[in-house]
Structure 1
Amino acid sequence: MTPSALAVVVPAHDEERRISACLRSLRVAAAHVAPLPVVIVVAADACTDATASLAARGGARVLETRCRNVGAARAAGIRHALELSAVAGPDVWLAMTDADSTVPAAWLAHQIAWARRKYDAVLGTIRLAPDTAGPLLVARHDAEYFRTRRLGKSGRAWEHPHVHGANLGVSAAAYCRVGGFAPLPTGEDRDLAARLFATGHRIARTDQHPVRTSARLHGRAPGGLADLLAHLQPGAPDPPAAPDSARGRFLPLSRP
């Protein structure tokens, strides 16, 4: 598939402190794929702060929702993005990130490269933003996050098991075939990836373009990264499930 247009969708709930940095990084990434058209949609979900106005000022198309649910907000944002992208043709590529994250300059270019290699979806990785996390928290997080990565020069790229809504891409055709994001309060990203996997779509797992995400300890979605990071703090009780920054967000490394 050679995308005819790209749509970037960002769900946001009370993210006035971080949305501007997110959008600045997305504008740089969009410039790297010019002249392909890129529409950026922020789904401002049940916001009580200046998120929506800052997003509009930052060049995004803003859809205000009252879902109070990240899965439903992502789905609404994608519906809106596809309506805006309809004139660009059927081969639209959907890229997802989060409002507390910043993407690298080549982020969209890398996703397009995977799409041209006939992959239906791209699962990327994350790093904790250094200005939001101390070295001990980063070390504890990374010890679990990278435990499946081979040490040394194995000659093979790390096909990681993680799924993050902060770093995910999918063709609009594949997204629609599997029914899109479910209205889940958390884990909506893993649920979508699992359905893509189960229906035989080609999925690239890459660590080539990690997204920087906030290491805050009080997140917007229950059971997400913030909850895990809170459990990694010194003296915190063990998490209720096996610890990982993508806890509950794994995808099998090979088809059974």
Structure 2
Amino acid sequence: MIDVFAVIVPAHNEEDEIKGCLESVMASVSYARHTSAVAHIWVIVVADACTDSTLDLVTDFASRNPIVEVVTVSFNNVGIARNTAAEYFIGQRGIHTQPALDAMWLAFTDADSRVPEHWIASQIRHAELGVDCVVGTVAPRPETGSSELLAKWHAAHELGEDHPFVFGANLGVRGSYFELVDGIPPLPCGEDAALVAAVLDAGGRVLRTDTCRVLTSARLEGRAAGGFSAYLQELA
């Protein structure tokens, strides 16, 4: 049974994207509240080294949505940012015993992404069936890239069950396994794949699924060197 669920969103200079991301997350929260028995759902946005209006936008959004909290850091490192937000959430709520960690779930997406309405409910369902890590799929948002670029991306990615990919914009892990593997590695890129590999090495049950696909920006100028945008640049 999952009692506590946290959505973690790292954001570095995302003033054009963060509101759309959070609105999609809140729609998913609302859906989960009507379709699952999870007691507590929270959203943690970690504003990392922002020099634009991202922090102001998130702070305003949080003032109107009490389940949203803001953490401010200056790492400019997505691995450290994700991990800091997760550790903050665990520490603030005093979740340290094994039963409590087993009943906690951490879900990760990105500030330029849009999660589907059933995203949270889907992760809860998989977790309650015994999965310790959900590795979901991602596709570019059609309105953010050329049809040629999107066609190249889909030609190179066959999205389905047991897919081979890892996307930080669609990832979830049980609290006990997050603690067991010492959290997310402090990497500026590839922290998502490293986390999944660590969970597998620790004996966790990993599900790779296309049942809760997230849509993300097809922008060619990203926020993390070597990330999704860098790959799209190669395709373009």
**What is the CA-CA distance between 1:102 and the residue it aligns to?**
0.7
SS of equivalent residue, structure 1 residue 67: coil
Q: CA deviation at 1:30?
A: 0.8
Q: Which amino acid aligns with 1:179?
A: D
Quick check: 1:191 aligned with 2:194? yes
Partner of 1:33, secondary structure, is helix
Aligned ranges for residues 30-179 of structure 1 at < 5 Å? 30-34=29-33, 36-59=39-62, 60-86=68-94, 89-90=100-101, 91-146=103-158, 158-179=161-182
Aligned partners of 2:9 and 2:181: how far apart in 1? 20
2:23 is aligned to 24
Contact 1:121/1:168 (8 A) holds in 2: yes
Q: Aligned with 1:180: secondary structure?
A: coil
Q: Confirm or deny: 8 A CA contact 1:39 1:85 kept in the other structure.
A: no
Does the CA-based 8 Å contact 1:12-1:43 persist in structure 2? yes
- 1:120–1:171 CA contact under 8 A, matched in 2: yes
The one-letter amino acid of 1:106's match is H
Aligned partners of 1:32, 1:82: CA distance in 2, in Å?
24
1:141 maps to a residue whose letter is: W
Aligned AA (2:8) = V
What CA distance in whole angstroms lies between the structure 2 residues aligned with 1:87 and 1:205? 27
Matched letter for residue 210 of structure 1:
R
Q: Give 1:64 deviation, angstroms.
A: 0.5
Q: 1:236 corresponds to which residue?
A: none
TM-score by length of 1: 0.84
Secondary structure class of the residue paired with 1:40: strand
1:6 is matched with which residue? 5
Using the alignment, how far apart are the partners of 1:56 and 1:6 within structure 2? 21
In 2: Cα distance, 1:83 partner to 1:129 partner: 35
What corresponds to 2:65 in structure 1? none
Of residues 117-126 and 26-35 in structure 1, the stretch that sits farther from structure 2 once superposed is 26-35
Note the residue ranges of structure 2 that are not aligned, 5 or more in a row. Answer: 63-67
The Cα of 1:85 is off from its aligned counterpart by 3.8
RMSD: 1.5
CA offsets 1:10-38 (integer angstroms, 9 cap, x no match): 11100010000000011111112226311
Deviations 1:107-134 (A, max 9, x none): 0000001001111010000011011011
Counterpart contact for 1:16–1:50, Cα < 8 Å: yes
Between the aligned partners of 2:22 and 2:76, the Cα distance in structure 1 is: 22
Asked if structure 2 preserves the Cα contact closer than 8 Å seen for 1:85 and 1:92, the reply is no
Question: What's the secondary structure of 2:2's corresponding residue?
Answer: coil
- State the shift of 1:160 in Å: 0.2
Percent of aligned positions that are identical: 39
Structure 1: unaligned runs, 5 residues or longer: 150-156, 234-256
* Aligned counterparts of 1:58 and 1:26: Cα–Cα separation in 2: 12
Q: Distance in 1 between matches of 2:90 and 2:29?
A: 17
Deviations 1:23-66 (A, max 9, x none): 00111111122263111011100000111121122232110001
Return the offset for 1:138.
0.6
Q: TM-score, normalised by structure 2?
A: 0.91
SS of 2:32's equivalent? coil
Question: Aligned letter for 2:178?
Answer: Y
Aligned AA (2:70): V
* Cα deviations by residue, 1:154-206 (Å, 9 ceiling, x for unpaired): xxx62101111100000111111011111111000000101111221100110
